[in-house]
């Protein structure tokens, strides 16, 4: 029934909070508005048919101005008071608020309803209904509940005093307050859209106005049907947004892997509106040699198709990164993959690879916003990386830069939703982000905190994906070591000695023999085909990895040697001894790596 407190103020729920707002009209203002609705002075009153056409036309522009369920219900109530009634209340089924389809109630008990909107003139301000945003519990004799159960309108042109006590029991004093306000007429109509029941609206009239008649009921039913379509549109809109966000989250990483000398935090924040959700992603990928790949991307579209495209592009980018391909080559191949998609969509993307030994990031971007590097002292600047064209545009190649990182510095990768507003351009947003990071203590700068600080009103106009990576200082018991090898025949012996000592220090004596053999083969290949070895790296994490670099550009391939061949079996031997092996090009040559399971692992 009608909802207003004793002071004439109503409670409205916004974003999970209750906001008290004035929602009753003074009697003078109500009568003036009613006179305007009845017709211009000096021209006589409109006929019922004319007034019905005028109101239906006005309702089209006054109701459904947004895709918010509560606002749409409130606009409907505001439109009808005082035109048609002195007070109006709108309740919606709980299933509708969850985005589900409403339906005729057939089960035991009573359906769950929630009060969504109220409007009343000042004289009706003391009626005691269900507070807006709260559950609407009706007794079995309630006329509003009977309207929901039967899906039929109810009209009481004249209410007797004893009927108030019978039909209006939602609060102990409801009938008493209605009697004091002089309520003498009542009607309730179901909210039906596309054959689906969404809720109920009820209306009352008090002193100075005639009781409701069948013409009023027909008009209220028509207006309720129009409003119900807008409510259903809002329901469908909200359901689509929930589906897109659910798909989006399912396609994003659920956890951040542990990586060497790098602390990574991530955050995904959906847009407030469904039209802004769908195409942003991020990824954190551990690579051989203790390196870590960081990726953010943004499909230039929204909705379910964009989310599906995002999932496919992220899978391609992750696969390419796991092959230990350099960032600019990953973007070039991602461009080819994007052009093969049926949707013909383009996306921006930024790839960065962190090397824990020399403390550098290797970065390339395809039309994406530049990353932000924040030093330990709080100073920040955007990394100057050539922009490139978005993937899918067919404009390659991409350029790469190497950026040193000081211990304690943070690299921030983000999509444009982090800085986008309805009024500022991207340049203004980038400057604003610099100010936000300057105001944050370096120790508190992580993805979640930065995302929250960028939208203090919690209303985000576009989705945002954020990755913040902190380069950690070296630890005494670090599980990553690297040595420079001599450029002569003593390199293999030197490598074996280093391996024996380090594995003994790590208490991995069971792996010494196999690791020595693999390192000998890797160093031998570097001497023979790569112009001499560069460095030997060992990483202990969930597996043991060894890596040898050289200056040769050609990647090794397994040779299928015949029984009479004297060589060509080195990589075959490594392939049999390790769990997996691979190679990748670097800015000054290549690296070849191999991984083994630690003792006790399957």
Task: For the chain, list the domains and their CATH numbers.
Answer: 9-241 (3.30.450.40), 252-471 (3.60.40.10), 480-597 (3.30.565.10)
Which bin fits 128, alpha (ψ -120 to 50), beta or left (φ > 0)?
beta
At 499 the pLDDT is 94
Burial class of 399 by CB neighbour count within 10 A (0 to 12, 13 to 18, 19+): middle
At 600 the pLDDT is 73
At 566 the pLDDT is 58
At 38 the pLDDT is 45
Q: How far is 550 from 554, CA to CA, in rounded Å?
A: 10
Instruction: Tell which residue, 418, 517, 399, 519, has the closest CA to residue 461.
Output: 418
At 26 the pLDDT is 47
pLDDT < 70 positions in the chain = 1-48, 101-109, 128-129, 140, 169-172, 273-277, 342-343, 456-458, 476-478, 561-568, 601-602
Instruction: Tell which residue, 289, 351, 291, 356, has the closest CA to residue 316.
Output: 351
How crowded is residue 252: how many other Cβ atoms within 10 Å of its Cβ? 17
Mean pLDDT of all residues belonging to the chain: 82
- Per-residue pLDDT tens over the stretch 308-340: 888 899 999 999 998 888 899 999 999 999 988
């Amino acid at each position: 029934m009608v909802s207003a407190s004793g002071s004439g103020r109503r409670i409205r729920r916004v974003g999970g909070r209750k906001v008290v707002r004035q929602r009753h009209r003074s009697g003078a203002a109500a009568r003036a508005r009613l006179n305007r609705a009845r017709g211009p002075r000096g021209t006589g009153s409109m006929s019922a048919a004319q007034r019905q056409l005028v109101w239906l036309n006005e309702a089209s522009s006054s109701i459904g101005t947004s895709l918010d369920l509560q606002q749409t219900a409130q606009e409907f109530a505001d439109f009808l008071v005082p035109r048609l009634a002195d007070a109006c209340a709108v309740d919606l089924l709980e299933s509708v608020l969850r985005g589900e389809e409403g339906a005729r109630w057939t089960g035991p008990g009573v359906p769950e309803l929630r009060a969504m909107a109220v409007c009343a003139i000042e004289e009706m301000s003391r009626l005691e209904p269900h507070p807006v945003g709260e559950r609407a519990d009706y007794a079995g004799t309630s006329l509003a509940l009977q309207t929901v159960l039967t899906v039929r309108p109810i009209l009481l042109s004249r209410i007797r005093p004893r009927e108030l006590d019978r039909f209006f029991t939602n609060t102990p004093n409801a009938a008493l307050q209605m009697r004091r306000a002089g309520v003498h007429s009542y009607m309730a109509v179901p909210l039906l859209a596309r054959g689906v029941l969404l809720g109920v609206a009820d209306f009352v009239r008090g002193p100075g106005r005639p009781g409701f008649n069948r013409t009023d009921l027909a008009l209220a039913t028509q207006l309720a049907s129009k409003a119900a379509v807008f409510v259903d549109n809002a329901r469908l809109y909200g359901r689509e947004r929930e589906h897109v966000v659910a798909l989006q989250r399912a396609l994003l990483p659920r956890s951040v892997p542990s990586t060497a000398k790098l602390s990574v935090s991530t955050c995904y924040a959906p847009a407030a509106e469904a039209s802004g959700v769908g195409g942003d992603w991020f990824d954190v990928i551990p690579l051989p040699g203790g390196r870590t790949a960081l990726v953010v991307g943004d499909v230039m579209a929204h909705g379910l198709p964009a989310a599906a495209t995002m999932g496919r592009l992220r899978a391609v980018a992750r696969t390419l990164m796991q092959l230990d391909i350099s960032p600019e080559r990953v973007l070039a191949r991602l461009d080819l993959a994007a052009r093969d998609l049926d949707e013909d969509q383009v996306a921006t993307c930024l790839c960065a690879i962190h090397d824990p030994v020399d403390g550098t990031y290797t970065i390339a971007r395809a039309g994406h916003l530049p990353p932000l590097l924040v030093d330990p002292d709080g100073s920040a600047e955007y990394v100057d990386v050539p922009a490139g064209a978005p993937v899918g545009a067919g404009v390659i190649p991409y350029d790469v830069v190497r950026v040193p990182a000081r211990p304690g510095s943070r690299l921030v990768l983000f999509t444009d939703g982090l800085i986008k507003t309805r009024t500022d351009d991207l340049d203004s947003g980038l400057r604003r982000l610099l100010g936000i990071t300057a105001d944050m203590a370096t120790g508190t700068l992580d993805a979640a905190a930065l995302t929250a600080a960028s939208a203090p009103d919690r209303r985000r106009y576009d989705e945002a994906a954020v990755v913040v990576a902190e380069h950690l200082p070296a630890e005494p018991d670090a599980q990553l070591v690297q040595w420079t090898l001599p450029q002569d025949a003593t390199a293999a012996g030197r490598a074996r000695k280093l391996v024996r000592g380090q594995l003994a220090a790590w208490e991995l004596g069971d792996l010494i023999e196999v690791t020595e053999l693999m390192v000998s083969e890797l160093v031998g290949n570097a001497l023979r085909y790569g112009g001499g070895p560069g460095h030997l790296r060992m990483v202990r994490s969930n597996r043991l990895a060894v890596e040898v670099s050289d200056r040769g550009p050609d990647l090794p391939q397994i040779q299928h040697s015949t029984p009479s061949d004297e060589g060509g079996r080195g990589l075959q031997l490594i392939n049999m001894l390790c769990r997996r092996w691979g190679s990748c090009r670097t800015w000054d040559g290549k690296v070849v790596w191999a991984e083994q399971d630690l003792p006790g692992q399957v």
